[in-house]
């Protein structure tokens, strides 16, 4: 039964509703798949998949379902009926004149040879197996000489398109663009009316009540506006090893900066690890800094702290006194102590690491990644990781 | 049934044309997403042109409410009229002003309705339109009348993925994501715009363009419209084709941020 496909898609994590499935059936009944598996592939994707983030999952599931299909006979009968609606058995003599010169066996042989020769998808042209061309093999238009032979290649090419996985980059677990980061940051909110502000918003319900009890004479009631109370301290590593992630970090930075809903946002920079000073500019120049103790003193414990860095450094930078990489600045306490101070001062701290989680154990700096990860909950800097991290912050 | 096959100045991929035709056949709204500059908004124009229909555009802003698309009851005007004794105050219907959606519903001919950048509005906005887009009708409370479509409009909705759209809404749409055009498609787009342009110029410009797009540090990657402007600039200036790749003249047309321009310069110094 073709319904297998529905369950396979759902099993592969695509949240397809019955409505959408019925819609697909309706579309097939209307003949919108145009008798070809590739059109069927696009039709399914249009109707069933509603975000580009799921295109890759769909491609994988589609390839899985149709992979084993070598010949027409393997296609589930129900689906085959749809694909074949108005072009069932075409007379073998119903083919272009040039094709009549070949016997069916010759055509078949040619087809096999050509398929073996062909390495990639072809659209247009008159030789390769593909779509929209005048080659005897493929689909698109109604000319293919051997419909059934062409049929085989149609099915292959759809699986092939699915197999190309062109949308791998859009998966949710990939790092994505600034808008999506912004969406994640919107979740960072704790509303409260108990902020120290004046009563400025008209409370309509209360006004109606008050006016009614005032015998219809208008009486206005105001209330305090609900406001986000989240304050954020963002600390970003701007060391050389972070350069390869610069775009990602800058997207994150922009997203945070444009998150106007935060009550307060402070950003400082550091070089591999935090010591006595925090830099105020990403260049990390001498003098353009504030004492870390000043930050502790002036930013209260309500601040939520996000560290962004690869946490990859030499162990002595983290563990020894004077381990600071900047040669003329001595630190009397090792970096790891400074990091621990943060967890003591601030209740909610997380570390976002642009290095993918699966590489943390193997990447350069794995030792320090592990050590930093023991101090802070560490998440990879992707949409999923950021989501998890923000949940941790709330 | 009418079918969409692209228009004279809009190059649509086969998948996109399929999606449009599927949406039309199933009478469902078509939701289009894609990078800026992939021609989402232009699609509706192209469909309207190709099928010779009127295009009604409803541009969405952050303050737009669903109700505004249906109708607005101009109470203030009615109040004024009653105070100054103007107009027929008893006839409420003359104070009902139809919005863009209402306009599309009541049109005597089938129209193309573009709901542009739906994600700009409030998170709940799409949900408020579910019934109306499903049933293609709405009820005017004040006049106790139901507005029904005479001809179901072709509804195109674009989104920049600024906000995630609600599931209930997505379930009712046909979805298509416009990929950034590959080199072959891009060449076709350039030809549609500039006709018989020097092939060498196009090749050189496209190579530089895709190279820049591939640079990881670029923050705002140039899009199709920027490439088209750039080619125009190169063509008018009559610059030596050999210099395009090495110098990237008029880089300001492609890149709008100083940092990005620096990145490209750095690259050129290194390689």
pLDDT at A329: 65
Q: Are the Cβ atoms of A50 and B161 closer than 8 angstroms?
A: no
Q: Are A66 and A162 in contact (CB under 8 A)?
A: yes
- CA closest to B29 among chain A residues: A47
Lowest average pLDDT, out of A67-71, A275-279, A318-322, A372-376, goes to A67-71
Q: What is the pLDDT averaged over residues B52-56?
A: 92
Strands (DSSP E) found in A59-176 = 130-131, 138-139
Q: Are the Cβ atoms of B26 and A32 closer than 8 angstroms?
A: yes
Separation CA A310–CA A236 (nearest Å): 10
Reported as a single tens digit per residue, the pLDDT across A379-389 is 988 888 888 88
pLDDT at B154: 92
Quickly list DSSP for chain B. ------BTTB---HHHHHHHHHHHHHT--EEEEESTTS-HHHHHHHHHHHTT-EEEEEE--TT--HHHHHEEE-HHHHHHHHHHT-S-TT-GGGGEEE-HHHHHHH-SS-EEEEEETGGGS-TTHHHHTHHHHHHSEEEETTTTEEEE-SS--EEEEEE-SSSPPPHHHHHTSEEEEEPPP-HHHHHHHHHHHHSS--HHHHHHHHHHHHHHHH-TT-SS---HHHHHHHHHHHHHHT--HHHHHHH-TTHHHH---HHHHHHHHHHHHH-
Check if A25 contacts B (Cβ < 8 Å): no
Q: Shortest CB distance from B25 goes to which of A32, A52, A247?
A: A32
Pairing of strands A201-202, B30-34: unpaired
Q: Are the Cβ atoms of A247 and B163 closer than 8 angstroms?
A: no
For residue A195, pLDDT beyond 60 = no
- CA closest to B160 among chain A residues: A179
Q: What is the pLDDT averaged over residues A222-241?
A: 79
Q: Are the Cβ atoms of B22 and A183 closer than 8 angstroms?
A: no
- CA closest to A251 among chain B residues: B219
In chain B, DSSP finds a helix count (H) and a strand count (E) of: 14, 9
Q: Are A17 and B171 in contact (CB under 8 A)?
A: yes
Q: Looking at beta carbons, which residues of chain A come within 8 Å of B122? A: none
Q: Are the Cβ atoms of B18 and A43 closer than 8 angstroms?
A: yes
Size of the A and B interface in Cβ pairs below 8 Å = 69
Q: Is B271 exposed, middle or buried (0-12, 13-18, 19+ CB in 10 A)?
A: exposed
pLDDT at B31: 93
Reported as a single tens digit per residue, the pLDDT across A96-112 is 554 455 555 665 566 56
Q: Shortest CB distance from B216 goes to which of A19, A170, A247?
A: A247
pLDDT at A173: 46
Q: Are the Cβ atoms of B19 and A246 closer than 8 angstroms?
A: no
Check if A15 contacts B (Cβ < 8 Å): yes
| 3-state DSSP assignment of residue A306 | strand
Q: Are A173 and A382 in contact (CB under 8 A)?
A: yes
Q: Looking at beta carbons, which residues of chain B come within 8 Å of A246? A: 216-217
- CA closest to A178 among chain B residues: B162
Higher pLDDT: A284 or A127? It is: A284
B259 CA: distance to closest CA in chain A (Å): 11
Q: Looking at beta carbons, which residues of chain B come within 8 Å of A17? A: 171
pLDDT band at A230; cut points 50, 70, 90: confident
Q: Are the Cβ atoms of A43 and B22 closer than 8 angstroms?
A: yes
Separation CA A206–CA B32 (nearest Å): 44
Reported as a single tens digit per residue, the pLDDT across B59-92 is 998 788 888 899 988 877 887 787 777 777 788 8
Check if A166 contacts B (Cβ < 8 Å): yes
For residue B114, pLDDT beyond 90 = yes
Check if A125 contacts B (Cβ < 8 Å): no
Q: Are the Cβ atoms of B179 and A246 closer than 8 angstroms?
A: no
For residue B39, pLDDT beyond 60 = yes
Q: Would you say the C-alpha torsion A367, A372, A376, A379 has a positive or negative sign? A: negative
Q: Shortest CB distance from B219 goes to which of A27, A30, A250?
A: A250
- Mutation target to probe the B interface, by most B beta carbons within 10 A, among A50, A52, A85, A258 is A50
Q: Shortest CB distance from A27 goes to which of B22, B172, B175?
A: B22
Check if A247 contacts B (Cβ < 8 Å): yes
Q: Are the Cβ atoms of B26 and A132 closer than 8 angstroms?
A: no
User: Long-range contact list for A135-142, CB < 8 A, 24+ apart?
Assistant: A136/A95, A136/A96, A136/A99, A136/A107, A136/A110, A136/A111, A137/A110, A137/A111, A139/A35, A139/A36, A139/A38, A140/A36, A142/A87
Q: Are the Cβ atoms of A30 and B26 closer than 8 angstroms?
A: yes
Q: Shortest CB distance from B217 goes to which of A27, A39, A247?
A: A247
Q: Shortest CB distance from B162 goes to which of A20, A43, A179?
A: A179
Q: What is the pLDDT averaged over residues A206-235?
A: 80
Q: Are the Cβ atoms of B22 and A17 closer than 8 angstroms?
A: no
A42 CA: distance to closest CA in chain B (Å): 7
Q: Which residues contact A39 (CB under 8 A, 6 or more apart)?
A: A32, A33, B18
pLDDT band at A174; cut points 50, 70, 90: very low
Q: Are the Cβ atoms of B28 and A23 closer than 8 angstroms?
A: yes
Higher pLDDT: B156 or A144? It is: B156
pTM above 0.80, yes or no: no
Q: Per this entry, what is the length of chain A?
A: 394
Q: Shortest CB distance from A50 goes to which of B18, B26, B175?
A: B175
Structure tokens at A112: 């096999």
Q: Shortest CB distance from B22 goes to which of A15, A46, A182?
A: A46
Check if B184 contacts A (Cβ < 8 Å): no
Structure tokens at B84: 């100054």
- DSSP-assigned beta bridge partners for residue A233: A266, A305
For residue A239, pLDDT beyond 80 = no
Lowest average pLDDT, out of A136-150, A356-370, B104-118, goes to A136-150
Q: Looking at beta carbons, which residues of chain A come within 8 Å of B22? A: 27, 32, 43, 46-47
Percent with pLDDT over 70 in chain A: 65
Reported as a single tens digit per residue, the pLDDT across A273-304 is 888 888 887 777 777 788 888 888 888 888 88
Q: Are the Cβ atoms of A46 and B28 closer than 8 angstroms?
A: no
Reported as a single tens digit per residue, the pLDDT across B215-266 is 877 777 888 888 888 988 888 888 888 888 778 888 888 888 887 888 888 7
Check if B201 contacts A (Cβ < 8 Å): no
Q: Are B79 and B121 in contact (CB under 8 A)?
A: no
pLDDT at A112: 62
- CA closest to B184 among chain A residues: A123
Residue B263 per-residue DSSP state: H
| Fold of domain B14-178 | Rossmann fold (3.40.50)
Reported as a single tens digit per residue, the pLDDT across A347-374 is 888 998 888 888 888 877 888 888 888 8
For residue B148, pLDDT beyond 60 = yes
Q: What is the pLDDT averaged over residues B1-23?
A: 78
For residue A137, pLDDT beyond 60 = no
ipTM: 0.77
Q: Are the Cβ atoms of B15 and A42 closer than 8 angstroms?
A: yes
| 3-state DSSP assignment of residue B239 | coil
Q: Are the Cβ atoms of A30 and B25 closer than 8 angstroms?
A: yes
All structural domains of chain A, each given as residue ranges with its CATH number in brackets, are 3-170 (no CATH), 229-393 (3.40.50)
For residue A226, pLDDT beyond 60 = yes
């Amino acid at each position: 039964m073709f319904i297998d496909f529905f369950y396979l898609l759902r099993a592969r994590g695509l949240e397809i509703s019955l409505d959408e499935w019925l819609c697909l059936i309706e579309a097939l009944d209307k003949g919108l798949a145009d008798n070809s598996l590739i059109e069927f592939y696009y039709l399914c994707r249009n109707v069933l998949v509603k975000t580009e983030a799921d295109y890759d999952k769909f491609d994988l599931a589609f390839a899985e379902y149709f992979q084993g299909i070598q010949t027409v006979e393997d296609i589930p009968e129900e689906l085959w009926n749809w694909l074949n609606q108005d072009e069932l058995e075409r007379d073998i003599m119903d083919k272009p004149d040039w094709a009549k010169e070949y016997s069916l066996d010759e055509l078949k042989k040619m087809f096999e040879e050509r398929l073996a020769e062909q390495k990639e998808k072809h659209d247009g042209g008159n030789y390769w197996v593909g779509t929209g061309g005048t080659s005897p093999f493929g689909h698109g238009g109604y000319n293919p000489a051997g419909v059934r032979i062409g049929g085989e290649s149609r099915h292959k090419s759809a699986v092939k398109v699915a197999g190309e996985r062109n949308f791998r980059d859009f998966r949710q677990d990939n790092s994505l663009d600034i808008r999506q980061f912004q969406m994640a940051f919107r979740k960072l909110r704790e509303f409260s009316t108990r902020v120290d502000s004046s009563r400025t918003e008209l409370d309509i319900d209360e006004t109606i009540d008050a006016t009614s009890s005032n015998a219809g004479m208008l009486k206005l009631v105001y209330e305090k506006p609900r406001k986000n109370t989240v304050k954020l301290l963002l600390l970003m590593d701007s060391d050389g090893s972070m350069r390869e992630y610069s775009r990602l970090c800058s997207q994150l930075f922009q997203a945070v900066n444009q998150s106007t809903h935060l009550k307060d946002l402070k950003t400082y920079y550091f070089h591999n690890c935090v010591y006595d000073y925090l830099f105020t500019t990403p260049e990390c120049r001498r003098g353009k800094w504030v004492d870390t103790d000043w930050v502790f003193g002036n930013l209260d414990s309500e601040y939520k702290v996000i560290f962004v860095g690869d946490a990859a450094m030499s162990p002595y930078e983290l563990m020894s006194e004077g381990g600071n990489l900047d040669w003329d600045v001595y630190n009397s306490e090792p970096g790891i102590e400074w990091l621990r101070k943060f967890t003591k001062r601030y209740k909610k701290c997380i570390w976002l690491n642009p290095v993918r989680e699966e590489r943390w154990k193997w990447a350069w700096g794995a030792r320090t990644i592990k050590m930093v990860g023991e101090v802070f909950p560490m998440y990879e800097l992707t949409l999923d990781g950021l989501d998890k991290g923000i949940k941790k912050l709330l | 049934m009418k079918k969409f096959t692209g228009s004279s100045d809009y190059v649509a991929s086969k998948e996109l044309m399929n999606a449009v035709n599927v949406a039309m056949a199933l009478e469902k709204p078509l939701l289009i997403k894609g990078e800026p500059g992939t021609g989402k908004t232009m699609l509706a124009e192209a469909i309207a042109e190709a099928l010779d229909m009127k295009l009604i555009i409803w541009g969405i802003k952050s303050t737009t409410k669903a109700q505004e698309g249906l109708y607005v009851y101009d109470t203030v005007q009615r109040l004024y009229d009653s105070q100054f004794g103007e107009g027929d105050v008893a006839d409420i219907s003359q104070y009902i002003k139809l919005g863009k959606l209402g306009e599309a519903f009541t049109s005597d001919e089938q129209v193309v309705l573009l709901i542009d950048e739906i994600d700009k509005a409030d998170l709940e906005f799409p949900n408020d339109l579910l019934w109306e887009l499903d049933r293609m009708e709405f009820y005017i409370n004040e006049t106790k009348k139901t507005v029904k479509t005479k001809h179901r409009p072709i509804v195109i909705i674009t989104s920049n993925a600024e906000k995630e759209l609600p599931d209930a809404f997505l379930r009712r749409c046909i979805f298509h994501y416009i990929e950034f055009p590959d080199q072959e498609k891009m060449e076709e787009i350039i030809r549609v715009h500039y006709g018989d342009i020097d092939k060498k110029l196009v090749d050189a410009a496209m190579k530089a363009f895709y190279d820049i797009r591939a640079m990881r540090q670029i923050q705002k990657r140039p899009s199709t419209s920027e490439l088209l402007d750039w080619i125009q600039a190169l063509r008018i200036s009559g610059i030596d084709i050999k210099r395009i790749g090495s110098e990237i003249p008029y880089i300001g047309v492609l890149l709008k941020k100083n940092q990005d321009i620096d990145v490209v310069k750095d690259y050129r110094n290194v390689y």
